[in-house]
């Protein structure tokens, strides 16, 4: 076989980039070699439309066992009765729930994007915002915590068929019991999208929504440290049946069996005692980073974090400029809107930082203190011109950390 020089060169460059970068993107993580093995395995060769023992192709006996194992491990991990491991992403998992439980034009109540919600929670340019009557709740203007009183008032006013809780940029514990009470008052389904905090829930470090929500969705990467994909869980047989039909044939054809195999491998890892210790360190590292940034005079929304996410609210700099500066020294994060942001999302007034990936590399409080001070040093610079000396010094610090804690690839 002729070697694909161009593609191999790009892969080598990406490996080098990851090795030499401090990854603070809250939605990213690093998978184990075992997860990678199954993601790149011969399971990718098999078409398996349908579900176990009800496939539309022959030769699925072993495939059925792989998917069953993934479901069993996921149910054990979260205490769920029913699980669907076929969604290709968290967004598709959410779409499947909307298809399963709603009709076009029904009202949904979800967290606004600028306050920390997700595109699929009713943002106007997405299917959830175009096909449904989407109403948004937000956070308190002073504390930046979820405004449960507003959620209650909007639910009473609009009588949604579905309420969505869960966030993509929120750093505090979510009170699922309050959401459940509100949903029951108005006869709404409650969907908990725990994509970001799934690993912390699995470790017992964040409340589990399964005792409160009708259905739970998540990605399998982020804090759960698996392959990129989605999952759906419920304790209700009728909802499980509707969800299964919504996933296939509703929005997907053949499942990605190589990814489902990798999910099963990740769930196995998450069931081990070491994963809880990892999750504890994820939170400790995030708290350390938040503390250092606050000590350096930066505004951390909600005054800190209970999970892996820190939202830094900026004044003089835009989020776009801040992320660009940090990338120039090898610290990778993303610009992020903050509640009541006066800048457009493409510019934004904040950055989102996360601890999962660097924690997977083995970094702890000492390293996160160094990282926090590097961030502050770079953002402190008033005039970002002729700063080669600063960039070189900070690059050297980043490289030293990365060399000390190489990624497993």
Strand segments, DSSP code E, in 32-119 are 50-51, 54-55, 82-84, 107-111
3-state secondary structure of 38: helix
> Is residue 11 marked as binding?
no
> Is residue 101 marked as binding?
no
Find the catalytic residue in 228, 320, 335, 361: 228
Decide if 225 is catalytic.
Answer: no
Find the catalytic residue in 49, 76, 321, 377: 49
Decide if 212 is catalytic.
Answer: no
Decide if 228 is catalytic.
Answer: yes
Please enumerate in sequence order all residues whose Cβ is within 8 A of that of 19, keeping only pairs 6 or more positions apart, or say none: 402, 406, 407, 409
Find the catalytic residue in 55, 73, 161, 222: 222
> Is residue 326 marked as binding?
no
Exposed / middle / buried, residue 394 (Cβ in 10 Å: 0-12, 13-18, 19+):
buried
Decide if 172 is catalytic.
Answer: no
Decide if 222 is catalytic.
Answer: yes
> Is residue 119 marked as binding?
yes
Decide if 369 is catalytic.
Answer: no
With left for phi above 0 and alpha for psi between -120 and 50, is residue 344 left, alpha or beta? beta
With left for phi above 0 and alpha for psi between -120 and 50, is residue 300 left, alpha or beta? beta
Total count of residues recorded for the chain: 409
- CA–chain centroid gap for 184, Å, is 27
Q: Quick one: DSSP state of residue 225?
A: -
- Supply 180's token pair: 């459940």
With left for phi above 0 and alpha for psi between -120 and 50, is residue 325 left, alpha or beta? alpha
Find the catalytic residue in 219, 223, 302, 360: 219
Find the catalytic residue in 37, 46, 47, 341: 47
Smallest CA-to-CA distance from 289 within 346, 343, 331 is with: 331
Residue positions forming the annotated binding site:
113, 117-119
Annotated catalytic sites, by residue?
A: 47, 49, 193, 219, 222, 228
Residue positions forming the annotated binding site for (6S)-5,6,7,8-tetrahydrofolate:
113, 117-119
């Amino acid at each position: 076989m002729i070697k694909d020089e161009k593609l191999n060169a790009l892969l080598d460059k990406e490996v080098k980039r990851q090795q030499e970068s401090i990854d603070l993107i809250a939605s990213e993580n690093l998978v184990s070699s075992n997860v990678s093995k199954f993601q790149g395995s011969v399971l990718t060769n098999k078409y398996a439309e349908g579900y176990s023992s009800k496939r539309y192709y022959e030769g699925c006996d072993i495939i059925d066992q792989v998917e069953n194992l993934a479901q069993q491990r996921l149910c054990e991990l979260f205490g769920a009765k029913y699980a669907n491991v076929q969604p290709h992403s968290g967004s598709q998992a959410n779409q499947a729930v909307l298809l399963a439980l709603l009709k076009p034009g029904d009202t949904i109540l979800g967290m606004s994007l600028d306050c920390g919600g997700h595109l699929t929670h009713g943002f106007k340019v997405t299917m959830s915002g175009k096909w449904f009557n989407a109403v948004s709740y937000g956070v308190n203007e002073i504390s930046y915590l979820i405004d449960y009183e507003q959620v209650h008032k909007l639910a009473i006013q609009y009588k949604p068929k579905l309420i969505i809780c869960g966030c993509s940029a929120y750093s505090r514990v979510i009170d699922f019991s309050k959401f459940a009470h509100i949903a029951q008052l108005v006869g709404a389904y409650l969907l908990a999208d725990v994509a970001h905090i799934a690993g912390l829930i699995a470790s017992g470090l964040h409340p589990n929504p399964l005792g409160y929500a009708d259905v739970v969705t998540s990605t399998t990467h982020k804090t759960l440290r698996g392959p990129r994909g989605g999952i759906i869980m419920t304790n209700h047989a009728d909802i499980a049946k509707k969800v299964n039909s919504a996933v296939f044939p509703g929005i997907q054809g053949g499942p990605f069996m190589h990814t489902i195999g990798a999910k099963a491998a990740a769930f196995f890892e998450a069931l081990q005692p070491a994963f809880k210790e990892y999750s504890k360190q994820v939170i400790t590292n995030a708290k350390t980073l938040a503390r250092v940034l606050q000590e350096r005079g930066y505004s951390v929304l909600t005054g800190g974090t209970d999970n892996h996410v820190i939202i830094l609210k900026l004044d003089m700099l835009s989020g776009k400029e801040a992320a660009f500066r940090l990338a120039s020294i090898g610290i990778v994060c993303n610009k992020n809107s903050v509640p009541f942001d006066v800048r457009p999302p493409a510019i934004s007034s904040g950055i989102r930082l996360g601890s999962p990936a660097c924690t997977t590399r083995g970094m702890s409080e000492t390293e996160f203190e160094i990282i926090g001070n590097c961030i502050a040093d770079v953002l402190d610079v008033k005039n970002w011109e002729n700063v080669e000396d600063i960039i070189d010094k900070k690059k050297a610090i980043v490289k030293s950390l990365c060399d000390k804690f190489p990624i497993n690839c």
